[in-house]
Amino acid sequence: MRIFIAIDLPERIKDEIEKIRKGLRGIYGKPVEKENFHITLKFIGDVQPNIFEKIKEELNNVKYNKFSIKIGNIGTFGDRVVWIGIQEGYEDIINLHNLIDEQLYKIKIDRDYKFSPHITIYRIKEIINKKEFKESVEKLSKYISDDILIDKFYIKQSILRTQGPLYINMAEYKLL
């Protein structure tokens, strides 16, 4: 089973992100589906059922207070991925990630050494018009969301399909 740990986003925010994603111009590729918008806290990958059970158990020991974030600003990872960043609450996401990382290291899940919280909105195959793409990113980067309450996180299963991945919540963890 292929898994990762993530924060889900409210529907109203997913609707706003979808509008932003639809405003991107000058690129060809795979837009991330609205239902798949999330903030990854830790990608784990393929695990056996016994390891999955250990992960579920260990995550019960993660204690962190609820917090709020704001998202905004658009960036890219090279010419491959378009993402929306975290404007406020960045440190809280980093701290939550670090707690999860430390807890899972106890059961020999490797630590993440580079973690940059973001929401992937588009996987680029080709930039057709660089100027048009750059202009659309600059225009859309003015967006900053309202407060988003982060009060839980999930273990998600990722099922890869030709029409795009399917993410299934396998376990939920409430913040304090």
Q: What is the pLDDT of residue 163?
A: 87
- Which of 116, 66, 120 is CA-nearest to residue 94? 116
- Do 79 and 127 form a contact (C-beta atoms < 8 A)? yes
Alpha carbons 113 and 139: distance in angstroms, whole number: 32
* Spatial contact of 165 and 53, defined as CB atoms under 8 Å apart: no
Q: Which domain holds residue 125?
A: 2-174
Using pLDDT thresholds of 50, 70 and 90, give the confidence band for residue 113: confident
Residues annotated catalytic, as ranges: 38, 118
For the domain that residue 24 is a member of, what is the CATH number? 3.90.1140.10
Could you tell me the CA-to-CA distances from 161 to 28, 74, 103, 158, 165 in Å, in that order? 19, 27, 31, 9, 5
- Can you read off the two tokens belonging to residue 145? 């969301």
Task: Quickly state the pLDDT bin for 1 (edges 50, 70, 90).
Answer: very high
Helices (H), 23-160: 49-59, 90-105, 130-140
DSSP state of 158: E
pLDDT of residue 137 exceeding 90? yes
Orientation of helix 49-59 relative to helix 90-105, angle to 10°: 130
Burial of residue 99, with CB atoms counted within 10 A of its CB: 0-12 exposed, 13-18 middle, 19 or more buried: middle
Q: What is the pLDDT of residues 23-76, one digit of tens each?
A: 999 999 999 999 999 999 999 999 999 999 999 999 999 999 999 999 999 999
User: Within a 10 A sphere around the Cβ of 164, how many other Cβ atoms?
Assistant: 14
pLDDT > 70: percent of the chain: 100
Count of C-beta atoms within a 10 Å radius of residue 7? 21
User: How far apart (Å, rounded) are the C-alpha atoms in residues 21 and 34?
Assistant: 9
Closest Cα to residue 69, out of 85, 83, 87, 84?
87
Number of domains in the chain: 1
147 confidence band (pLDDT: 50, 70, 90): very high
Residue 102 predicted with pLDDT over 90: yes
The distance of Cα 27 from the centroid of its chain, to the nearest Å, equals 21
pLDDT at residue 159 tops 90: yes
- pLDDT at residue 93, as a whole number: 98
